[in-house]
């Protein structure tokens, strides 16, 4: 029997990581004499990676960061974030119940993220979620980042599944474009980290809660997943 595969994005999809990204952002800002930003600011600024988050934080609190400082600021951010990666981050409501159900049904599960692999693994381990996933694919895992479809293909292979019975779940234009480039259906969550509503990127499905995902998967795969 051909195995089904469900591939998840991480930040803003499986886990609300913004509170810990907020802490790391303010750590860097304070270290360089800037005021703190609010959590709402971080929700507004997040996306496109840590370097862009730092740049936006500096722009929001004064003069832009000098180009020759970005790598130093990035290392300071990563050091603090890595040490506090699960201080306040939590899986979104309904995530664990869905993962439990899919795992019980024998569905292959993996993560495909643009977060560095070592940070992704540390986050997943810290939240006691590693047992669900066959692989955690970051941009450095195979040297290519989303929206290139190759990380998604690697994640599907790691589950033992096939593309014809695979689906991606994500929160951003990047996730949706990755799935579209791979010719794989995509479910977009409405509660993630995107400034434009996900409907603008034309995903196959949009959900407001993970409780809505299983019927979509059953319909997509025609039989019980």
- Show Cβ contacts of residue 62 under 8 Å, excluding neighbours closer than 6 positions: 34
Does residue 1 have a pLDDT over 70? no
Q: How far apart are CA 137 and CA 24, in angstroms?
A: 23
Alpha helical stretches, state H, the chain: 18-31, 39-45, 50-60, 70-83, 95-104, 117-126, 150-159, 173-182, 213-220
pLDDT of residue 36: 98
Which of the residues 9, 16, 171, 175 is marked catalytic?
Answer: 9
Q: pLDDT for 179-200, tens place per residue? A: 999 999 999 999 999 889 999 9
89 vs 57, 123, 201, CA distance in Å?
A: 20, 9, 27
Tokens 């913004």 — which residue? 18
CA dihedral 110, 118, 147, 214 (to 10 degrees): 20
Does residue 94 have a pLDDT over 90? yes
Spatial contact of 170 and 9, defined as CB atoms under 8 Å apart:
yes
Spatial contact of 218 and 210, defined as CB atoms under 8 Å apart:
no
Q: What share of the chain is helix, strand, coil (3-state, %, to 5)?
A: 50, 10, 40
Does residue 19 have a pLDDT over 80? yes
- The average confidence (pLDDT) of the chain is 95
Domains and CATH numbers, the chain: 5-16+89-220 (3.40.50.1000), 18-83 (1.10.150)
Q: pLDDT for 57-66, tens place per residue? A: 999 999 999 9
Catalytic site includes residue 140: no
Spatial contact of 141 and 117, defined as CB atoms under 8 Å apart:
yes
Region 157-161 average pLDDT: 97
């Amino acid at each position: 029997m051909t195995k089904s595969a469900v591939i998840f994005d991480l930040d803003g999809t499986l886990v609300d990581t913004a509170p810990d990204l907020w802490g790391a952002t303010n750590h860097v800002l304070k270290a360089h004499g800037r005021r703190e930003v609010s959590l709402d600011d971080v929700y507004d600024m997040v996306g496109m990676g840590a370097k862009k988050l730092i740049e936006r934080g500096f722009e929001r609190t004064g003069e832009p960061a000098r180009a020759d400082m970005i790598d130093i600021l990035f290392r300071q951010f990563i050091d603090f974030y890595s040490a506090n990666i699960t201080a306040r981050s939590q899986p979104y409501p309904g995530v664990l119940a869905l993962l439990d159900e899919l795992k019980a049904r024998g569905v292959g599960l993996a993560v495909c993220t643009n977060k560095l692999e070592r940070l992704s693994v540390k986050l997943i381990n810290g939240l006691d979620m590693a047992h669900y996933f066959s692989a955690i694919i970051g941009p450095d895992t195979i040297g290519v980042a989303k929206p290139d479809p190759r990380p998604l293909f690697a994640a599907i292979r790691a589950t033992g599944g096939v593309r014809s019975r695979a689906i991606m779940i994500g929160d951003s234009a990047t996730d949706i474009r990755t799935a579209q480039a791979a010719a794989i259906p995509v479910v977009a969550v409405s509660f993630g980290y995107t400034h434009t509503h996900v409907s603008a990127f034309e995903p196959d499905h949009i959900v407001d809660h993970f409780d809505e995902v299983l019927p979509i998967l059953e319909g997509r795969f025609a039989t019980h997943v």
